[in-house]
Chain A
Amino acid sequence: MPRFTAQELDAHRAKVTQLLDKPSIKVGMSTCGVAAGAVLAFDTLVEEAKSKSANILISRTGCAGMCSMEPLVEVCIPGQPAAMYGNVDAELARRIINEHVLSSQPIVERLVPSIEALAVAYDKSDTPTPPGASGPRQYRIVLRNCGVIDPESIDEYIAREGYQALQKALSGMTSEQIIEELKVSGLRGRGGAGFPTWHKWQLTRDAQGDEHYIICNGDEGDPGAYMDRSVLEGDPHSIIEGMIIGGYVIGARQGVFYIRAEYPLAVQRIEKAIRQARAAGLLGKNILGTEFSFDLEIRLGAGAFVCGEETALIASVEGKRGTPRPRPPFPSVKGLWNMPTMINNVETLANIAPILVRGGKWFGSIGIGKSTGTKVFAVTGKIKNSGLVEIPMGTTLREVVNGICGGIASGRRVKAVQTGGPSGGLIPEQHLDTPVSYEHLQALGSIMGSGGMIVMDDTDSVVELSRFYLGFCVDESCGKCAPCRIGGTQILRTLNRIADLKGTERDIATVRRIAHAMQKASLCGLGQTAPNPILSALRYFEPEFMERIAAAKTARKEPGIARK
């Protein structure tokens, strides 16, 4: 591939756009698709098409979002609505070729909703489906290409507005203008804390230093969440484009992709995408024929949840133990190698290109209050259709749980929804009509978080879930500061006592007291937020804890039972 100038890239885009109009079969080949048997489905489709001389392109694609129905196969024939098949085994794969492709007879009983039926694509409509109107409830900006393009083809990315934002940025936008556009858009960090993205970019740009760095935080550590993995695997170029633009704004020559080693497929896809972008002149020296030079390297995480914290992540990129340090100075002033460093989350970066192409005003018009745009959630637990959803901010939790995801699989009652993982909290059933926004979730004692959403039914124990999250944080505490190291262990011991029917009423007060100390005195976000799950559990479900304490009391009165 030649190194493109801006005009050449336009010409190339016009050429490759035709690629997308060919009849094709797309097989979801992300980690979860492969795990469910997508390789067999893919191979069978190819074999059958070859033996029957069916003239159709069979390609790999990323995550379509309906994880519980994998492997997913979509048949796209121009002029016809896309047809999605779920749970595709070898037999169904053969039938798809013979009946659907060769005889134009879709296998109706095996069809599942297509991406088009579930979500409005942002390139098809400027606005999501309005509340109350009929239509798909999801709106895809971040996931615009996931399940649509072949993630290993830069041409397919380019064909769908890919690198258009970079062209726009480099051909005349100043860094001030780009920051202004982000300010208008209202985009906030999607890692969970919700710091305004424009402000982070401006602080880093304005900080003095010989070098400036941009880091993509792909260390998705919340157990029960996999939004970032899906974007890394399904649309790697969207993140790379966001990083190049970020590098341009802050004046960086080097960017770092920090990715979990536990995501080997994501690492492979990013490696390949970086090579492709370099070959096309989108990375490296004189990008798109301009003066701007920028390159990316990959650094692997090694299984430490604390490395999601910015200063710990920087230590890890420097090849050290991932322990945090006190802030200030913030990384935007003193980060990697003591130079100004901007760390952005995967989902945040994937939002950058659409904002520059469509304008900050468009993005800012979606959402509610100070929470603009969309948010991707990985909805799991006792839910019927677990999977990835992307909703406009302001959509209610009930809409997500009952509307989009079909409610509880067994038909039981929703007890609570947990957001924010080990740093978040529980939202009980009576608050499900709350709209999703940074502010609303915080008011309920939870957080937006990175996008994990665990649905519990009335058979799940809040006491056990609190113990699970706290155990996780105790395991993952780096041990550097005492409030987190000792506080976490002491709360866990107390909680274990309560759970194992040995607790007393005083234990609850003890838990609360230590939790508040941890929130105030811990060095980094891990320790400060580790007590959130237990505090929110006590806020809404204290009777469940009291039940266990009452049972312990009874047991003490009847020693025969206690000894058992």
Chain B
Amino acid sequence: MTHTSVVDDVAVIAKRWNNTRGSLIMALHDLQSRHGYVPRESAMKLAKYMDVPLARIYEVLTFYNYFKLKPPGKHVVSVCMGTACYLKGAPGIYHDITKHLGIKSGETTPNGEFHLQIVRCIGCCGLAPVVTINEQLLAKMNPHDAVEHICQIKEGAEK
């Protein structure tokens, strides 16, 4: 990703939202969906184009869990910790994954391959406990199978 493309993206997004009152969060959603996170240089550009102090942008970014300030790893592993998943063994699944990957929630493996996060209820409680790896949802999981899925991705990458 070149620097110029970042600048252009932000200009388009700012133009889209500039005339709508209270649209800062929507503009940040657009930025994040384009980059997977909100890069600092994009936030700085947005501050300029939308005429909002940078501090206000970071005030919002750091308040909401959904926004990421660092690039996530190549594969995002999310362990659902909603009540239904929690009761049905999500803590055990989380424990085994942290042991296997050597990282905790919110961290990325040193090689940038995996990002691990705990999420609050993705609304699939009937299939609890659930884990998602990128877009793929794994239903009715157990610690062994969850780690197995991660191993498969690792092997796929090595081949």
Contacts and interface: CB of A to CB of B under 8 A. Distances in A.
Contacts of A456: 87
Contact of A378 (B26, B125, B137): B125
Given A317-B22, A321-B59, A381-B87, A302 B29 contact: yes
A225 B84 CA distance: 9
Contact of A299 (B25, B64, B121, B128): B25
A35 interface: yes
Given A300-B29, A322-B63, A337-B21, A35 B83 contact: no
A380 B126 contact: yes
B24 A303 contact: no
Nearest to A265: B123
Interface string B74-102: 00000001111011100000000000000
B151 interface: no
Interface string B1-35: 00000000000000000001111111011000000
B120 A381 contact: no
B44 interface: no
B69 to A, nearest CB: 13
The interface centre, meaning the residue of B29, B82, B83, B130 with most chain A CB atoms within 10 A of its CB, is: B83
B125 to A, nearest CB: 4
A300 B26 contact: yes
A468 interface: yes
A31 to B, nearest CB: 6
A70 B124 CA distance: 11
A223 B120 contact: yes
A321 B63 contact: yes
B153 interface: no
Contacts of A378: 125
B83 A70 contact: no
B83 A223 contact: yes
A205 B20 CA distance: 25
Nearest to A32: B124
A36 B139 CA distance: 7
A499 to B, nearest CB: 13
A334 interface: no
B54 interface: no
Contacts of A303: 64-66, 120
Contact of B64 (A223, A226, A302, A465): A302
A460 B124 CA distance: 21
Nearest to A455: B87
A31 B123 contact: yes
Contact of A224 (B23, B66, B82): B82
Contact of A302 (B21, B25, B130): B25
Contacts of A185: none
Interface string A315-353: 011111110000000000000010000000000000000
A551 to B, nearest CB: 21
A229 to B, nearest CB: 5
A224 B22 contact: no
Contacts of B83: 223-224, 380-381, 418, 421, 452, 454, 465, 468-469
B22 A319 contact: yes
A447 interface: no
A221 B25 contact: no
Given A261-B29, A302-B25, A304-B63, A223 B81 contact: yes
A297 B127 CA distance: 32
B49 interface: no
Contacts of A460: 87
Contacts of B86: 223, 468
B6 to A, nearest CB: 21
Interface in B20-63: 20-26, 28-29, 59-60, 63
B80 to A, nearest CB: 9
B82 A223 contact: yes
A299 B88 contact: no
- Chain A interface size, as a band, is 35 or more
Interface in A47-90: 66-68, 70
Contacts of A452: 83
B38 to A, nearest CB: 11
A192 to B, nearest CB: 15
A149 B119 CA distance: 31
Contacts of B25: 299-300, 302, 316, 319
B61 to A, nearest CB: 9
A501 B1 CA distance: 52
Interface string B108-132: 0000000000011111111110100
Contacts of A317: 22
Contacts of B88: 381-382
B125 A226 contact: yes
A318 B23 CA distance: 7
Nearest to B67: A302
Nearest to B50: A319
A460 B66 CA distance: 31
Contacts of B20: 297
A392 interface: no
Contact of A32 (B82, B87, B121, B123): B123
Given A223-B121, A261-B29, A418-B83, A32 B127 contact: yes
Nearest to A69: B126
Nearest to B125: A380
A302 B124 CA distance: 19
A67 B65 contact: no
Contacts of A321: 59-60, 63-64
Nearest to B136: A35
A554 B22 CA distance: 58
B137 A35 contact: yes
Nearest to B138: A35
Nearest to B128: A380
Nearest to B65: A303
> Top 4 closest A-B pairs, CB basis?
A67-B126, A224-B83, A302-B64, A303-B65
Interface of A: 31-32, 34-36, 66-68, 70, 220-226, 229, 261-263, 297, 299-305, 316-322, 337, 378, 380-382, 386-387, 418, 421, 452, 454, 456, 460, 465, 468-469, 472, 478
11 contacts: A31-B124, A68-B127, A224-B125, A262-B119, A297-B20, A300-B26, A303-B120, A317-B22, A318-B22, A421-B83, A469-B83
Given A302-B29, A319-B26, 20 more contacts: A31-B122, A31-B123, A32-B124, A68-B127, A223-B81, A224-B83, A224-B121, A226-B121, A300-B26, A300-B29, A302-B28, A303-B65, A337-B22, A380-B83, A380-B125, A381-B87, A454-B87, A465-B83, A468-B83, A472-B120
